[in-house]
Amino acid sequence: MQSVLLALVFAGVALACGDDHTHAARDGHVHDHAKREFPTAKLTPPSRPLKWGSLNIIHTTDSHGWLLGHQKTSFPEPNYSADFGDFSSFVTHMKELALKKDVDLLLVDSGDLHDGTGLSDGYPAGGVDAQQSNEFFQNLPYDVLAIGNHELYIYNNTLDMHNNFAPHFNGRYLSSNVNITIDGVSKPVGSRFAKFKTRKGRAVTALGVLFDFTGNDANTTVQTVENMVKEAWFADAIKDEPDVFLLAGHMPVSRDNWPLVFNAIRAVHPLTPILILGGHTHIRDCLQLDGRSMSLESGRYMETVGWMSADLPEPKAHGHRRHNGEDHSVNKNITFSRRYLDPNRVTFEYHTGRGNFSFDTTWGRSITKGLEQLAKKFDLSFTYGTSPADFTINQAPFPSNNSLLSLMAEVMPVALTVNNTRASVPNIMITNSGSLRFDIYAGPFTKNDQLTASPFADSFLYIPNVPFSVANAVLPALNGAGADNRKRDEGVEAELWARGYVGTRYREWMENMARRDAELGGEARRAAANLTLGYVTTDACPGVGDDTPHAPLEFHAIPDFIASAAPTGIADDAPIDLVFVDFIETQLIGILNGLQSENVYTTADVAKYTSVLASEALGIYAEQVWN
């Protein structure tokens, strides 16, 4: 990929078109992946400069293939309109500033590069998910990267990370508790830990930890965090005291197992600075486990670039920290700062002190051009139809005309019965709302839009001849109707969490955001302050974390599961097809057996309903209905 980018540079990278590419141009070409020179919407600039320390970190996590930026015009999308080439230019300029300030600046990623857009998931048959989009990460100067759970759902993806991705980073791609089995031998996907020195000579010991994930594919292994910290290699890795421990991992900084790692280190090194860069729940979050540590989580989908700074003592190797054999700085609290940046050119130019004509680097331009060529190669601008409106997951109530869940309930009966011999058999079709990953916006509905809204290539299964009354009771049972199901719901939620489902935690965060806004005056306050829509973060760290002030999005609760409309005019005992996404097979069979005693259903009763995958359904519907 590097040679390709250089070839593009020396060939002379032309400036891409700057029109409104949510609409088709007159020639029929859809410019939804062209680079915008200026945002099409007026963006609010950052509220204040960043605070720099002696050690600074730029943090990304849960990018999920969103490397071309968010290019729709409905807010808050313009807030996140920078692409990975823009980000590369930003990093370059920030590195230059760090040199001028004579401080350290590290670039860290906390995992989940797969599953999310056409760049990662739109590859042709026979390809490997995210293999080509991940090559763009290799063209940025990442100091530490950690594995995510989405690197583990499919063995070939994990193998690609082991064989092709990890080697590029020379021991800095970390998978402390994650192994892959190759030819009968289990070995780390990347490296267990890394030890290195910063430009200023600070000794760093880095780990890359994954939460207790159970949804990994065969021949991959995830060790629990509790057991990982008991390993001999772990004790050996933390034995010598560095200037700072850098814990980058795909694990939420709140309500998870970071304290197990933190406490294990503190038992050996009570005062050594510890910086934690987490991920997975897709939220902006920060806390301090003690006065000499900070934990930061930086959102999702390249909607956030995290910033952390710390005023650390001089490196021990410099000999400035000790006086008469004593270190007089290690028992003081460290001054930290954190900031959540909206990734757009206004933000990047503000913090780098650059203008629109001096911001782009040649290398950043080449990355943008490479991304655009990959989008063209994958035919991501192919248009299935024209969406008549915005369809959102949580901004519109369910059910409603603008609810994406309501739309999906209409999509399944259309898309899953195309060329299906069972199309005439009455049915109820069920899927989990978590399979819908992003909103759909009015205008051309492209292959890329299809994959951002529903990237998972899940299959649809069915059980035939289920009595209508029983099949009709499955959805409310899945959604936990009734107090008797509360304990079961808690178990289901724990199981879904272990398998990587983060929707509940993210929605809880968004709901709290909207509730706090209502308590503070809601629309009247927003209008008076002239605020645009975006994230409004409340976390456990001091001060205001958001770089740019916003008003929160409207939020409406949604069920965990949705279904197509039940057939009408049939008897309760009429046999119908119960169709469902394969992700919920075990859960659904258990509920089905709890609803009746006439039959004991097993996986032997389950068959494949259609060759149409979940990631294809919206496109088929758009071709049928939106043309």
The Cα 348–Cα 449 span in angstroms is 26
Which of 566, 563, 569 shows the shortest CA–CA distance to 584? 563
Q: Does 180 share its domain with 305?
A: yes
Q: Does 339 share its domain with 443?
A: no
Flag whether pLDDT at 513 surpasses 50. yes
**Which CATH number belongs to the domain containing residue 74 in this structure?**
3.60.21.10
Half-sphere exposure of 146 (CA within 13 A, CB side): 29
Q: Does 348 share its domain with 444?
A: no
Supply 271's token pair: 């005062």
Residue 494 falls within a domain, yes or no? no
Q: Does 261 share its domain with 126?
A: yes
| pLDDT, the chain, mean | 91
Q: Does 136 share its domain with 68?
A: yes
Residue 31 falls within a domain, yes or no? yes
Q: Does 126 share its domain with 182?
A: yes
The Cα 243–Cα 330 span in angstroms is 10
Which residues form the domain of 465? 383-479+559-625
The arithmetic mean of pLDDT across residues 281-301, rounded, is 98
Residue 270 falls within a domain, yes or no? yes
Please write the tens of the pLDDT for every residue from 186-239.
999 999 999 999 999 999 999 999 999 999 999 999 999 999 999 999 999 999
Residue 185 falls within a domain, yes or no? yes
> Which has the minimum average pLDDT: 129-143, 317-331, 334-348, 542-556?
317-331
- pLDDT the model gives residue 523: 75
Q: Does 364 share its domain with 387?
A: no
- pLDDT the model gives residue 20: 30
Flag whether pLDDT at 482 surpasses 60. no
Q: Does 105 share its domain with 175?
A: yes
> Which has the minimum average pLDDT: 132-136, 213-217, 404-408, 515-519?
515-519
Which of 220, 274, 209 shows the shortest CA–CA distance to 244? 274
Please write the tens of the pLDDT for every residue from 114-142.
999 999 999 999 999 999 999 999 999 99
What is the C-alpha end-to-end distance of the chain, expressed in Å?
A: 38
Assign 3-state DSSP to the chain and report helix, strand, coil percentages, each to 5. 35, 20, 45
**Which CATH number belongs to the domain containing residue 617 in this structure?**
3.90.780.10
Domain boundary among 326, 345, 377: 377
- pLDDT the model gives residue 34: 44
Dihedral of the CA atoms 515, 518, 519, 522 (nearest 10)? 150
Dihedral of the CA atoms 587, 589, 595, 598 (nearest 10)? -170
The Cα 357–Cα 505 span in angstroms is 41
Q: Does 358 share its domain with 400?
A: no
Domain boundary among 334, 361, 377: 377
Flag whether pLDDT at 484 surpasses 80. no
Residue 67 falls within a domain, yes or no? yes
Which of 64, 73, 14 shows the shortest CA–CA distance to 39? 73
Residue 460 falls within a domain, yes or no? yes
Query: What share of the chain in percent tops pLDDT 90?
Result: 84
> What is the domain count for the chain?
2
Residues 29/444, Cβ–Cβ less than 8 Å: no
| Close Cβ partners of 318 (under 8 Å, ≥ 6 residues apart) | 201
Q: Does 338 share its domain with 400?
A: no
Q: 3-state secondary structure string, 516-533?
A: HHHHCCHHHHHHHHCCCE
Residue 618 falls within a domain, yes or no? yes
3-state secondary structure of 324: coil
Domain boundary among 353, 377, 401: 377
Q: Does 351 share its domain with 391?
A: no
CA 235 to chain centre: 31
Q: Does 280 share its domain with 351?
A: yes
In this prediction the pTM is 0.91
Residue 85 falls within a domain, yes or no? yes
